[in-house]
Structure 1
């Protein structure tokens, strides 16, 4: 006669399976530590770059005016990078951010728009950015288009529309309330207003990613869209929200660029998509989605901005600068692959 099976024996296989859990959980702190180390490494790289700039051009690099310039220039692409970080973490990509910035900047600087004053320009830039993001999101989430193709189409369309609006000419801004934000003498406590905007967007982005269900859903969708769907997450709606967020950031960046240059041009935002993707990657955001940090992306922006400034101060050509950026991207991607392999071990 077969002896009765005890509850302990019935749970035997489950106990055996759960024995693996501590090992899998143990890998997460290890991977998290690697991400923290990457951020510390980026801080180290930034410190080295600052030292190089201070040594090669001591009088110019450490001048307050130059530091203000670096903060101002990195702030515009920094805001775009925050939006790009969310998109990549959600398993997508956005190649149209530069074109969206250009279109928003020229649409917001037409004579008809300037008649509505400061808030008219700001409102138009943001709405145009959101509109472009909405088109991208609908095509990708509900039209089931590949993000690469959909955003590439937006890139071409937005650039073409920006060129048609301007007819290849520069649209100057004649509103003192807008231009005054870019005057160095008006900086509060010596901090550029654009840097304050970038800081505000960064804080909101960090809170959104780390303290809300929106951030958790973004990570879930980017890590495994099917698992997220089975868990009750509306994957298509989440992807739509991500591209809307990217468009919003582009609209804000377009207004910042208008303040910085005092004009709207169809060439604005040139190569912003490459710079934003590169900054996010070296900051620890996985191209495959599901992992990344806002802090890392911001550090990536500052690293690239400092490199550009050092090259400019030393009158070096653009080619070596692009080569240096490319090398940094390759090293960052290789480091990502190593971290993922160690995390899955």
Structure 2
């Protein structure tokens, strides 16, 4: 079931050690089992709907806008923002700072898409602080995955990828992501805006595949957002992928022994062309305490995947926290 809408009982900005401000909120029962939700992107933002997946009587529901996006500051798209500060390791440190700020001994960590990579990376760095993981539209940010989503999936959407490449302005032999990072940080606002629109249009072509393989309705894609929002999203994504998410060739897969004992639920759509189910399957194969749930009729999201996430939360809540 989906629970009724609720409002946070507290919100705030947490200033971390390098001066960045991370926006966070807490909802539900302050004395309940703590869970933190990690949104997708990179460069997405927190949406209120995540709260409705959890029983507010039993969960202390934490959410945040990740570094340099949403209501956190500074934004990645603002002049002078240091893109070198957007590493996965810095985001892990932000999460740990928030846990300490809230006085929580441990929490369940949950995330979707990019948020699942961040959840796994955090758990590997701080396994003693994680009692369970609930992940949806699973990613591990290996080089192979990132090469697929930025170029390989063009085999399925060749028309859209040809337009993306044409708009990149890349020099002969220059990697596509490197070319887009140059254009997204160009001094000319028109160049930045054009690159962001081209990138978001490309992402809409493949990421938006949802229930029964249908694309999102017109007006609901990333390319339909404001120029400022498009630039923010594209800058985060391209900067992250151009650096292999700062996780190396295999993403989070090489450090799974740290979380081998932590229970986890992996939820993935069979029709997800942006992140084929092979990723979730391989993660499950290497992680003994995980359970894989494949939704046959959905892609990178959908109502059945949401229901499976609710069930995962209920399962993790029944386990002892210590």
**Larger fraction in strand:** 2
TM-score (norm 1): 0.26
Pick the structure with greater CA Rg. 1
**Larger fraction in helix:** 1
TM-score (norm 2): 0.28
Larger RCO, structure (CA 8 Å, separation 6 or more): 1
